[in-house]
Structure 1
Amino acid sequence: MTVPTAGRRRGRLVPAAAVLLLLSGCAGGSPAQPAAPPSSASSSVSAPPAQTPAPAPTAAPGTAAPGPDAAPAPETQPPVLAQSAPVAVRIPAVGASSGLLHLGLRPDGSLEVPPTHPGAPASWYTSSPTPGERGPAVLLGHVNATGGGPGVFAGLRGLAPGDTVEIDREDGSTAVFVVERGEQYAKNAFPTRAVYGNTAGAELRLITCDGYDPATGLFDDNYVVYARLAA
């Protein structure tokens, strides 16, 4: 698995301006099951439709319109949890569960790689926020295992919006995240800011390999699941 990463300042991740680092080590050999083809996407982004300005609201009879110095409504922040390291993850919709290793960076700046033997666990990237803290917590897992069997994150492509990811934490609490979407990215065009950039609330990224090329025996892409802490 090859995943560009960004460094982290205390509590939140550094945006994409950070130096890219590489994680390598998806197990060789074909996946246990053929990966589903990536969803088609347009090569261009449509501009939002023009909006017709709405007429200014009229104050109700007998009600004074707010003056120019009226205080703005207080800004609401998404819910977050206190810091607590993760110990296990469960993904009920695809029948996946795993204890979590705590892995960081090697001396050369590359990510430590979870083991690839059958039944090997996923890992939490220790320079990302703990799951439930503000920012994107990052979990990494292999799509396949040594010998071609399924890896802990083999089922990520089966997740759909609204599915849940449950993460047990050291303080005894469970952070429940709701899946928003999954995206496949070429490893040489990985969107660092979208995956690792700061977020207003507590979010989760599940990352594995994808895009298996039988001609080379390598995975050319990554698959990323985006999820948000349940309210």
Structure 2
Amino acid sequence: MGNTQGGRRRSLGAAAAAALLLLTGVSSAGPVSVLGTSATTALAPAPTASAATAPETAVPVPAPPSPSLPAASPSAPNAQPAGMPESAPAALRIPSIGAASRIIRLGLDDDGALQVPPGKPGSPAGWYEHSPTPGETGPAVLLGHVNAEGGGPGIFADLRRLSPGDRIEVVREDGSTAVFAVLRGEQYPKDNFPTSQVYGNTAGPELRLITCDGYDPKTGRFDDNYVVYAAMVP
């Protein structure tokens, strides 16, 4: 992969800021938005055609965290499991909501913006490759759509159904599986996203699942993000 864990952590803050710029709702290019499309969604009815093609709204981007960002306040149980060796994720399973997906890699595009998974039906979740690999110490970041281009659910359509303690399983390329337990879910306005809380260093291996939320039928946009926090189980 060519990235050390330190390199991934140093890049994460800047990418978090880039992600915030992208996680703004409907794309001006058409009905596909970042992590939530403007088509039918589990959160809200389909918008009108005029709303579906509304231009993207600019969002102030907070300053990226420092490379020496301290660990975030502990959100996991006191017994932190030891981190696993680096190994990229290959597949995701969330048994309680029946979600399963292969995992693709997401990096930065030529403009330095965070890439996002495709929005077509059946599109997979994506791992931001400059975050820790799931199972390593730190917050591994997975992105997924709440709905699909043209209608239907996205891979992360049912994140709100998750409860504390629900299992999230990430199969890794080395054949091992990192198992996480849900801690909580939080909804955040995209223009007031808590970058350091979501992307900041953690004492143990953790996971972040991020999708769109807060659908506004008047504008055809998703105004918020929904973030699931999870910690690896011993």
* TM-score over 0.5 (shorter chain): yes
Which residue in the other structure is 1:12 paired with? Answer: 9
Which residue in the other structure is 1:153 paired with? Answer: 156
Which residue in the other structure is 1:94 paired with? Answer: 97
Q: 1:130 aligns with which of 106, 115, 133?
A: 133
CA–CA distance in 2 between the matches of 1:193 and 1:230? 23
Distance apart, 1:15 and its partner CA: 7.7
Structure 2 counterpart SS, 1:10: helix
CA–CA distance in 2 between the matches of 1:88 and 1:180? 21
Letter in 2 for 1:12: R
CA–CA distance in 1 between the matches of 2:228 and 2:80? 23
Q: Is the 8 A contact 1:12 1:134 kept in 2?
A: no
Which residue in the other structure is 1:23 paired with? Answer: 22
Q: Percent identity at matched positions?
A: 61
CA–CA distance in 2 between the matches of 1:160 and 1:27? 25
Which residue in the other structure is 1:5 paired with? Answer: none
Distance apart, 1:209 and its partner CA: 0.3
Q: Is the 8 A contact 2:16 2:199 kept in 1?
A: no
Structure 1 counterpart SS, 2:38: coil
Structure 1 residues 116-151: Cα deviation after superposition (integer angstroms, max 9, x where no partner): 111110100001000000100000000000112100
Aligned residues: 184
Which residue in the other structure is 2:55 paired with? Answer: none
Which residue in the other structure is 1:228 paired with? Answer: 231
Q: How does 1:148-187 map to 2 (within 5 A)?
A: 148-187=151-190
Structure 1 residues 191-221: Cα deviation after superposition (integer angstroms, max 9, x where no partner): 0001000011000000000000001111000
- Structure 1 segments (4+ residues) deviating >3 Å: 11-19, 32-35
Q: 1:107 aligns with which of 105, 110, 116?
A: 110
CA–CA distance in 2 between the matches of 1:114 and 1:106? 13
Computing the radius of gyration over CA atoms, which structure comes out larger, 1 or 2?
Answer: 1
Distance apart, 1:79 and its partner CA: 1.6
Q: How does 1:59-98 map to 2 (within 5 A)?
A: 78-98=81-101
Which residue in the other structure is 2:207 paired with? Answer: 204
Unaligned runs of 5+ in 2: 24-33, 46-78
Q: Is the 8 A contact 1:13 1:128 kept in 2?
A: no
Greater helix share, structure number: 2
CA–CA distance in 1 between the matches of 2:16 and 2:156? 27
Letter in 2 for 1:110: A
Letter in 2 for 1:10: G
Distance apart, 1:173 and its partner CA: 0.3
